[in-house]
Structure 1
């Protein structure tokens, strides 16, 4: 396992799963974009928000692929909604979904960029959110 793969795995284990915020300050570069800003505090803001919605949310790494200074992680996650998730009030329902996170590392081996895609539509369905298509332009 390379140093970058180990750092990616530690990011998920420590920050995402264990809530060890101090690890974020070691792993994330000061200019890494996050929720409403940059750096470790901005990255933590997203994770704090998600943990407020799903306190027991846990991620399992399915696959890791590394190329140069980039690491892609495919994962599965599951957790119970105990707090509001956007406009969705707490339901007590368990959700399970998949996604992938792409990390770019700087020269110092810190995470300089994080970009994730996931099955948000599936999460909302599991929470009981009913999605209706928009009305046709003629109102029908």
Structure 2
């Protein structure tokens, strides 16, 4: 997840990620915008949508809906086995919709907004995945 600088490597970690996101957004769904391919990848542009009904990490549910444009690269090895899904999106747009959907004229939402900020700050202390910070430039042949 490039936007959050996290890597979910291995079958169990990927399953845990999908399980956690379906708890946070049980109605999560996609609308494909475009589908492209290259020699070793399938590239998908899509809208991701859902309603924040469960915790998103340390961020409590807000009940707000979101719609965020994303791009996913599905990378395959020489044997055509899927080896990586790399997802790009604007995480601030998503958070703005989740927290910004709260009616701040209602005092009961002030505590929830503060809990969301506290949760976000607690998650920001996690270090980024080193593999997303240090990449090897490609070598191009003449």
TM-score (norm 1): 0.62
Distance 2:15 2:80 in 1: 19
Residue of structure 2 aligned with 1:123, choices 83, 94, 99: 94
Distance 1:105 1:85 in 2: 29
Instruction: Tell me the equivalent position of 2:50.
Output: 79
Instruction: Tell me the equivalent position of 1:96.
Output: 67
Instruction: Tell me the equivalent position of 1:15.
Output: none
Distance 2:20 2:99 in 1: 20
How far did 1:107 drift? 3.4
Q: Which has the higher contact order (CA 8 A, sep 6+)?
A: 2
Residue of structure 2 aligned with 1:67, choices 38, 47, 53: 38
Detail structure 1 runs of 4+ shifted over 4 Å in the superposition: none
TM-score (norm 2): 0.61
How far did 1:57 drift? 0.4
1:94-132: per-residue Cα shift (whole Å, max 9, x none)? 11111100111123432111111112111101111688x
Distance 1:119 1:98 in 2: 8
Structure 1: runs of 5+ lacking an equivalent = 1-33, 132-140
How far did 1:43 drift? 1.9
CA RMSD across the alignment: 2.1
Q: Secondary structure at the match of 1:128?
A: helix
Residue of structure 2 aligned with 1:44, choices 7, 15, 24: 15
How far did 1:75 drift? 0.7
Distance 1:60 1:110 in 2: 25
How far did 1:48 drift? 1.0
Distance 1:123 1:82 in 2: 14
Distance 2:81 2:59 in 1: 34
